[in-house]
Each structure stands twice: as structure tokens, then as C-alpha cells.
């Protein structure tokens, strides 16, 4: 078997297989994310709970309880010590993942809080809401720093770039914008709001590109500095839900996404061709996460499924 590394000679694709199904939530699982150090996995649900799992043993370590409505998103701090959750109860909560205690509640949004992320330094939190604002918070004090009237419809995703200087936001209004994280100033509108709703966006690991999902069954990789779309990934189903996608960089370079046909899709990042469709969930796969160092994917299913599935590459 060839062992290439560079873009010109990628390693041969190794199929993923189902390893384990984690069933502990009572309603739809809305989000799943591995911690940055790879030791933990967190899942969030419309059942108002966050669950922290060991990513090695896949056993339940703790439940984080306190939100009074469903949770749509979660984010890990860079040191894997804290989790921030975004809830339909209009708040965000910062949790100590070790002690399972809520250390801060962030109040200010006037509608459902839908998306959240820490900056790489983990001193800032960015959130997006159905109130159409993007808000930047001081992670230590919980104090709001900037409230940005960012969009004309719900904000579906917010993400910092690798040095924390930029924030990308996407919205149901069809626009995708780049903001300065220190001032909250609009730096660039990458996609004008005249196309399909943007259901998810994030920076690439190297910070040069943004991955954008739209509710017309399409994922695109954009060079945001030139405003050019470079790659298009299709084959999955995505017309209704804000399904997250991820970059997998531990073996080959892949794009991974959930889908409304209850599958996880894996594409070759460069070649754009679908490599594998992972079947097993019994409802829409809303969220996927790739382990930071191992060839492992976690995926989350909506209300007809309620589970997290772990997939591993054959070695």
C-alpha cells in the first residue's frame, strides 16, 4: 500500500466503519464535538442536557444540567477544560467539563441562541442567534463586549479563524460575512444575501478558506480574500436543517458532513468526489466531528434517532 503525504500523492482511502452507538439522550442530539486534546467528546440535545463522554472508552462521564430549554450548539475551549453551550432558553452557559459545574451564564440575546465558538486563545466567545445578532463575550467574566447587528435573519453559524483575529458568520438571509473580532467591525461580505440560506460556515484549519453549506444540497469551499468559490461538494441531502460539516486532516484531507438521508458523507477535499457514505442513523445526521489526532468521526442524529455514532477507519 502506498504511503503518500503531499497533495500530489494523497494516501489511499481507508473506509470508515461503525464502532459504537452512544444512546443516552431523550430527544434529538443537536451537536457533537471532540475536545481539542482528543480525550473527551461532548454531545448536546434538545433534551436540555449536555453529556461528556470519554472518547477512548466511550463511556458517559457526566451530564451537564441547567438549561431550561433545548441546546443547539456547543464549543470546547482550547485547553479542553471548558464547554460553552448555546440554548433556546436565550442564554449561553460556560461549564467546567471536569467538575460538571456551570461557572457562568451569558445573558443578552433576545431570541434562541443557535451557535457558539471560542477563539483559539479561549478568552473570547462568539455567539449567533435568531435575534439576528452576533455577540462577542469576555469568556472569563461573561461580559458582553460587542453586539453586532449582523444579519436580517437568524444567524446559523459563527467561527473564529486560526489566530482569532477574524469571525465568519452565516445566516438564513443567504449572506456570509467576515468580522474583526477585536472591534466587531464588518471587514468583508463574502457572499451577498441573494442566494440560498446559509446553514453552516467555518474557517479551514489553515485559515485561508471558508467552508459554506447552503440549503440547496451544496457545500462550497471559498477563498474569502478573493471571494472566489474553489470547490463544490454534492451528493448529500440538505434542504431543511443546519447540518454541520468538518475538515478531517489526520490521515488524508477530507470534508465530512451529515445529511438528511440519515448518512454521513466523506469527500476528498481536493478531488471533490464522494469517497464514502456511512449508513446507520435512523434520522437526519445534524452534526459531525472529526477527532483531532485519530481517524475517528462522531455523528449525531435527530429525534427519530437520538444517538451519537462513532466511526473509525480500518487500519
Question: 39-49 burial, b for 16+ CB within 10 Å, e for fewer?
Answer: ebbbbbbbbbb
Interior/surface letters 223-244, b for 16+ CB within 10 angstroms, e for the rest: ebeeeeeebebebbbbeebbbb
Rounded CA Rg of the chain: 18
Q: Helices in 68-137 by DSSP H: which ranges?
A: none
**Cell output for 311:** 466511526
How far is 111 from 91, CA to CA, in rounded Å? 9
Give the Å distances, CA to CA, from 119 to 135, 158, 161: 13, 11, 8
Residue 140's Cα: distance from chain center in Å?
Answer: 22
- Write out the three cell numbers for 126: 462568539
Task: Find out whether 166 and 188 touch, Cβ atoms under 8 Å.
Answer: no
Tens of pLDDT along the chain (315 residues) come to 344 444 567 789 999 999 999 999 999 999 999 999 999 999 999 999 999 999 999 999 999 999 999 999 999 999 999 999 999 999 999 999 999 999 999 999 999 999 999 999 999 999 999 999 999 999 999 999 999 999 999 999 999 999 999 999 999 999 999 999 999 999 999 999 889 999 999 999 999 999 999 999 999 999 999 999 999 999 999 999 999 999 999 999 999 999 999 999 999 999 889 999 999 999 999 999 999 999 999 999 999 999 999 999 987
- Rounded Cα–Cα distance for residues 89 and 149 (Å): 20
Q: What span, in angstroms and rounded, lies between the C-alpha atoms of 214 and 195?
A: 9
pLDDT at 3: 42
- DSSP helix/strand/coil, 202: strand
Contact 172, 242 (CB under 8 A): no
73 and 116 Cβ atoms separated by less than 8 Å: yes
Measure Cα distances from 245 to 104, 130, 203 in Å.
28, 21, 11
Amino acid at each position: 500500500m502506498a504511503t503518500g503525504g503531499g497533495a500530489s500523492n494523497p494516501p489511499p482511502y481507508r473506509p470508515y466503519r461503525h464502532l459504537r452507538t452512544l444512546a443516552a439522550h431523550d430527544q434529538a442530539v443537536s451537536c457533537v464535538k471532540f475536545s481539542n486534546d482528543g480525550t473527551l467528546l461532548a454531545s448536546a440535545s434538545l433534551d436540555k442536557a449536555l453529556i461528556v463522554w470519554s472518547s477512548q472508552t466511550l463511556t458517559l462521564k457526566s451530564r451537564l444540567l441547567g438549561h431550561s430549554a433545548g441546546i443547539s450548539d456547543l464549543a470546547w475551549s482550547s485547553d479542553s477544560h471548558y464547554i460553552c453551550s448555546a440554548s433556546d432558553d436565550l442564554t449561553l452557559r460556560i461549564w467546567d467539563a471536569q467538575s460538571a459545574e456551570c461557572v457562568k451564564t451569558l445573558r443578552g440575546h433576545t431570541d434562541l441562541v443557535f451557535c457558539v465558538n471560542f477563539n483559539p486563545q479561549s478568552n473570547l466567545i462568539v455567539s449567533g442567534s435568531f435575534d439576528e445578532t452576533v455577540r462577542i463575550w469576555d469568556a472569563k467574566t461573561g461580559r458582553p463586549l460587542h453586539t453586532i447587528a449582523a444579519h436580517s435573519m437568524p444567524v446559523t453559524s459563527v467561527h473564529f479563524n486560526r489566530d482569532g483575529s477574524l469571525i465568519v458568520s452565516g445566516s438564513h438571509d443567504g449572506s456570509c460575512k467576515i468580522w474583526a473580532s477585536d472591534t466587531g467591525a464588518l471587514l468583508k461580505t463574502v457572499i451577498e444575501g441573494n442566494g440560498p440560506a446559509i446553514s453552516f460556515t467555518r474557517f479551514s484549519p489553515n485559515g485561508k478558506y471558508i467552508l459554506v453549506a447552503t440549503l440547496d444540497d451544496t457545500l462550497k469551499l471559498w477563498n474569502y480574500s478573493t471571494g472566489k468559490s474553489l470547490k463544490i461538494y454534492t451528493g448529500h441531502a440538505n434542504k431543511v436543517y443546519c447540518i454541520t460539516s468538518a475538515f478531517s486532516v489526520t490521515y488524508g484531507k477530507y470534508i465530512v458532513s451529515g445529511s438528511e438521508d440519515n448518512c454521513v458523507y466523506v469527500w476528498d477535499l481536493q478531488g471533490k468526489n464522494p469517497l464514502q457514505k456511512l449508513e446507520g442513523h435512523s434520522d437526519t445526521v445534524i452534526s459531525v466531528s472529526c477527532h483531532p489526532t485519530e481517524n475517528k468521526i462522531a455523528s449525531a442524529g435527530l429525534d427519530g434517532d437520538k444517538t451519537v455514532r462513532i466511526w473509525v477507519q480500518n487500519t
